[in-house]
Chains A and B, each alone.
Chain A
Amino acid sequence: MEANRIYPDPSQVREELIQKYPAKVAKKRAKSIIVNDPEIIPEVQANVRTVPGIITQRGCSYAGCKGVVLGPTRDIVNIVHGPIGCSFYAWLTRRNQTRTESLMDANYIPYCFSTDMQEENVVFGGEKKLKIAIQEAYDLFHPKSIAIFSTCPVGLIGDDVHAASKEMREKFGDCNVFGFSCEGYRGVSQSAGHHIANNGVFKHMVGRNNTPSKGKFKLNLLGEYNIGGDAFEIERIFEKVGITLVSSFSGNSTVSQIENAHTADLNVILCHRSINYMGDMMETKYGIPWMKVNFVGAESTAKSLRKIAEYFGDEELKAKVEAVIAEETPKVKAVIEEILPRTKGKTAMLFVGGSRAHHYQDLFAELGMTTVAAGYEFAHRDDYEGRHVLPNIKIDADSKNIEELKVVPDPELYNPRKTEAELEALKEKGLEINGYDGMMKQMTKKSLVVDDLSHYESEKLIEIYKPDIFCAGIKEKYVVQKMGIPLKQLHSYDYGGPYTGFEGAVNFYKDIDRMVNNPVWKLIKAPWEKAGNGSGLAASYVTQ
């Protein structure tokens, strides 16, 4: 095995990554390439614009809004206002799954609605066409909700999607129509779209149905998008321990669940980046605390369940949680014990998402694999360093462009679920409420943290570290594999999954074993095997 593997000196790696850049770009990138120290977490520059011409992993605001947050709710008709491409490219590509209760229930996820804007709409305005499209969708489906998403040209030609939505909402009376100004050029990445989506969902959906939800331990699951069936596994576990899921944001969710979400007593957050705004806003308006959890990894799942039970403070629930963990653990253990000898000591790199690069480190740890370098595609400093840095994050032009909703306690519905004293007591038990420590605290000393990894840097890192597996998305997959390193897609899961909970952990162990121990890699001669020791990359420069 590779237990005695010597890792490269990260400070030298950092120097090597930036030395080829001209001074100005080197200075900029140096702030985003950081050698980690979990004790004294250094600052990471994040959520800053990608330099034009540098090929980035990042997507756009529309992708974050429609693709990520709104996409997984099955009974909203999502109409993309713009030329055809944007709607087509987001058509089922995120692999969000959903399960209707009966065959009669609405499910619009397999559809791709677009106003298919033509030149005359760009010249003379597209609002009229948009309204007809909304009317058509209404006549055809009579959905509970119709959401409108603006693409790049819409903002420029001045179509007012909000006014059009309001007009149609008032006209219908029984269909909630609302719009999102999520043009692709807004913000730095898809992260802007998450924020815009949070605002819209909070404003137009949450709190519309005050029917008290049933159940003793009621929570919402925030930032879980049911990719590859992840939500189904979490739902299975919740049901087993007796936790009531009022609403998910937004994997396997429905309009009525979201409208009723404010009747839950706890929000648990998985993907902090994409949904933390919702947690904060619901806390302020309704008094529901939120807690960061992680259901990726068997041990993390157990830990998160215990945290939830501790929050509710119910002995019966705690006992049930322990019983379920005891019941689920043996089958997970049986698999990991068989696989561990083949994965132990191997190394991984994760450059993906705004949370996944953190969460999946838990699974790799369970496999005995070390994460030597990690970074996010579209996260902010708080996702790296923890939320305590929030007051120090510089507000720039890009963040100013995204609306901050002014939220105040609801005069009737505000009801703090825990008193200050109770929250303090929970904190003493190690339960962090409304907090998140970020990724770096958990990573080892001298591991490398890189934000918005560029194409050049990824090749260089692979060359230097020769990791056993690289985790990113489909855009990176085939270039990494051409160098003889397996790439695990952590957006689409390489069409596998679920990877959450106990059953998901087993799936992941098996998938990673199959990848890192696959005989095909022996057939591929990596560039460094030919070029000798490194130095395969030509000089490369970028300018700002």
Chain B
Amino acid sequence: MKHAKTATQNACKLCNPLGACLAFRGIENCVPFLHGSQGCATYIRRYLISHYKEPIDIASSNFHEETAVFGGSHNLKIGLKNVSDQYKPKVIGVATTCLSETIGDDVPGILREYKKEFKNGSPMPILIHASTPSYQGSHIDGFHAAVRATVTTLAEKGEEQSVINLFPNMVSPADLRYLKEIFADFQAPVMLLPDYSQTMDGGPWGEYHRIPPGGTPASAIVSAGSAAASIEFGSTLEASKSAAGYLEEAFDVPRYHLSLPIGIKESDKFFSLLETLTGKARPEKYEDERRRLIDAYADGHKYVFEKKVILYGEEDLVVAMTAFLSEIGMTPVLCASGGKSGLLKKRIKELIPDMEELGIKVREGVDFVDIEDEAKVLKPDFLIGNSKGYTMSRKNNIPLLRLGFPVHDRFGGQRMHHLGYRGTQELFDRIVNTVIEQRQNASSIGYTYM
């Protein structure tokens, strides 16, 4: 099966609108809305929920046969009106689907008409439109498209403030909470977008909520145009597609573009940037975290050194994880993604210039069958990626360390922490334990000290 395939088997990517729905869920009082068939909203809800174990309401314009033929304007307006009346949202995030994009609905035009037609009704929510045709890119593109559309719709120029915009990429609620903690400890105001740390990982409800509490307030996003700087995680995210890129272009807010801070080196870059931007030294707490992490690297090196790993997932996660793994002496023999930015190899090479000598191979636009074919040749010690690699792991008897999205066959996917010294610590402990468990299982004696 070495020949180039036309069809995809066991895809290593999800569709564009899913990412947009998740991003919109990170805005306070916002209802994500899919302009298309109701099945898209239902499938995407069930998929996000299987990972986050939290409810997520996604409205739909419920296309039917004649909507598909005559256009979705009428349904979109009814849907927006109903969502506005029922949920009283501050924001509705409208993302398109392959259906509405194929028929070529002019969504910005329909939204303008809607605002005119219903201006005298209940308070008009802010309407954001992200173009997310499922036949382009993958879920991560939809995520960035929604974040950029949000900023494009809301950000305004104002008097310069000390606030820093942080666009964290598609990371876990645990990661988001950690990022907020860092900024709080630096005593630096931050506009984190999106912030689904609470909406996708919250507590029981003492009172009814139409929309769960939490998320970035629209008012904070308005002032993104007057922020001191934007920090954006994601090595393959280009300025032309990113929120920080837009803010730099439209309002001269400087854009600082980093890899996801995983591992010592990349986390150092992030903390150094924070020190530069805030003019403050990092709090001692993070020095401690860093020292503990290095200490752990030293204690655990014998388990992980020269272990071969196949790594897969979103491109930015793969780049960051590759940097971290090579930092601890592991060899990602294959860095794979279903995404296809054309930048994956370039970005990895920038971080690890001697990647070829180290035996690091990079492939983008692949599916799990491609990865499995590679695994048969490369014989990795284990796999690192989302739950969808399980079949390959089981069939070839290679352990799978789960991270990223989706993780639906382990508990607590939403609380997996990947970023910064503390997140890296968690990842490192899990990696070492995967190796230990593997050795223990293989031992004929049954050692309890490994």
Contacts and interface: CB of A to CB of B under 8 A. Distances in A.
B98 A116 contact: no
Interface stretch (A6-14, A132-140, A430-438): A132-140
Interface in B209-268: 210
Interface in A481-515: 481-484
B47 interface: yes
Contacts of B204: 481-484, 524-525
A425 interface: no
Q: How large is the interface on A (under 10, 10 to 19, 20 to 34, 35 or more residues)?
A: 35 or more
Interface stretch (A227-235, A285-293, A471-479): A471-479
Contacts of A62: 39
B184 interface: no
B85 A541 contact: yes
Given A151-B98, A540-B86, A185 B208 contact: no
A84 interface: yes
B62 A152 contact: no
Contacts of B80: 53
Given A52-B60, A153-B102, A478-B54, A541 B86 contact: yes
A102 B135 CA distance: 39
A122 B133 CA distance: 11
Interface stretch (A107-115, A244-252, A386-394): A107-115
B11 A477 contact: no
A530 B53 CA distance: 24
Interface stretch (A30-38, A261-269, A416-424, A531-539): A531-539
Nearest to A155: B68
Given A83-B135, A113-B9, A537-B208, A184 B15 contact: no
Residue among B39, B54, B63 having the largest count of chain A Cβ atoms under 10 Å: B39
A189 B76 CA distance: 18
Contacts of B401: none
B305 interface: no
Contact of B43 (A89, A110, A153, A482): A89
A53 B59 contact: yes
Nearest to A520: B204
Contacts of A207: none
A121 interface: yes
Interface in A94-130: 110-119, 121-122, 129
A152 to B, nearest CB: 4
Interface in B381-422: 388, 391
A274 B97 CA distance: 27
B61 interface: yes
Nearest to A56: B38
A60 interface: yes
A474 B68 contact: no
B179 interface: no
Given A151-B98, A482-B204, A114 B7 contact: yes
B205 A51 contact: no
A84 B13 contact: yes
A186 B65 contact: yes
Contacts of B98: 82-83, 117, 122, 151-153
Given A83-B134, A115-B8, A49 B47 contact: no
Contacts of A475: 42, 45-46, 49, 55
B135 A52 contact: no
B61 to A, nearest CB: 5
A195 to B, nearest CB: 14
Contact of A129 (B6, B43, B66, B208): B6
Given A116-B7, A184-B37, A397-B65, A152 B43 contact: no
A478 B202 CA distance: 11
A117 B18 CA distance: 17
Given A153-B102, A156-B68, A530-B207, A88 B15 contact: yes
Interface of A: 49-63, 79, 82-91, 93, 110-119, 121-122, 129, 132-133, 136-137, 140, 151-153, 155-157, 183-190, 397-398, 401, 455-456, 459, 463, 473-479, 481-484, 524-525, 527, 530-531, 536-538, 540-544
